[in-house]
Amino acid sequence: MAEQTTLDTRDRPRGLGKVVASAAEAVSDIGDGASLAVGGFGLSGNPMALIEALLATGVGNLKVVSNNCGVDDWGLGLLLGAGRLAKMTASYVGENKEFERQFLSGELEVELTPQGTLAEKLRAGGSGIAAFFTPTGVGTQVAEGGLPRRYDGSGGVAVASPVKETRTFPFAGAEREFVLEEAITTDFALVHAATGDRHGNLVFTKAARNFSPLAAMAGRVCIAQVEELVEPGELDPDEIHLPGIYVHRVVHVGKNIEKRIEKRTVRKEGQV
């Protein structure tokens, strides 16, 4: 993995805090082989300015953790389509044909993880918890191993998931079996927030909140793009979804950015 450096903000004018001038500057030290936790749920809350800036750098061999990998022409699908991803850890992969092609051809390693488990792995990593036991996946290949992570290009499995430790605990009045899951931490995190202040305190909107705070926590350097940038003290402390202690860089992208959804379903005229 390329040596990582952190932008030094100590010489910035007083009051600017964690704000950087552009998405390009914010991602400039993400090198080949870096690991990334990326926020968003489906296409909701994808940090597109940061993804596009990272695409422009030409870096590759990236190891990405996110709920999904976007679609063929949007979200993380842009990096995937350019051949920049070496591994994807996700809970859902159903909307991206190029993802399927790369996985089955052996070009991409995929660690498919139950959605709630993935969320908790990110939260645990950001909270300093190395691992945890969960009942999710007990009695399946999630715990027993053998899930394909990389194919050999000829239909065979080149890399399979390992067997995970299981233990029985008394829980809710009964003996139950649990599987040990390791936490996730990454070199960087990329997230999109509706509002942020110059100290990095963030507020997310609706579905964009699902994975974004957790992804932000897991990154050793968290970069947030925000639609609205406000001064410290303008956000009600009770409305902040992610405190600025987890955030290292803030990029103001404005409210007129393009936003997409995977599928648009509308009711026909006159239909109840």
CA-CA distance, 134 to 131, in Å (whole number)?
10
CA-CA distance, 235 to 152, in Å (whole number)?
51
What is the pLDDT, as a whole number, of residue 269?
A: 79
What is the pLDDT, as a whole number, of residue 95?
A: 76
pLDDT tens for the chain, residues 1 to 272: 444 444 444 333 334 489 999 999 999 999 999 999 999 998 889 999 999 999 999 999 999 999 999 888 899 999 999 999 999 999 988 778 899 999 999 999 999 999 999 999 999 999 999 999 999 999 999 999 999 999 998 989 999 999 999 999 999 999 999 999 999 999 999 999 999 999 999 999 998 899 999 999 999 999 999 999 999 999 999 999 999 999 999 999 998 888 877 777 777 777 76
Which CATH entry fits the domain spanning 23-130+183-251: 3.50.50.60, 3.40.1080.10, 1.20.1280.290, 3.40.1710.10? 3.40.1080.10
What is the pLDDT, as a whole number, of residue 9?
A: 40
What is the CA 31 to chain-centroid distance, rounded? Answer: 17
What is the pLDDT, as a whole number, of residue 266?
A: 77
What is the pLDDT, as a whole number, of residue 7?
A: 44
What is the pLDDT, as a whole number, of residue 43?
A: 85
Domain boundaries along the sequence of the chain = 23-130+183-251
Distances (CA, A) of 61 to 105, 106, 218: 17, 14, 20
pTM of the model: 0.89
What is the pLDDT, as a whole number, of residue 11?
A: 38
DSSP the chain: -PPP-----TTSPTT-TTB-S-HHHHTTT--TT-EEEE--BTTBT--HHHHHHHHHHT---EEEE-S---BTTBTTHHHHHTT-EEEEEES--TT-HHHHHHHHHTSSEEEE--HHHHHHHHHHHHHT--EEEESTTTTSHHHH---EEEE-SSSSEEEEPPP--EEEEEETTEEEEEEEEE---EEEEEEEEEEEETT--EE--GGGGTTHHHHHHHEEEEEEEEEEEE-TT-S-GGG-SB-GGG--EEEE--S------S----PPTT--
Is 67 within 8 Å of 42 (Cβ atoms)? Answer: yes
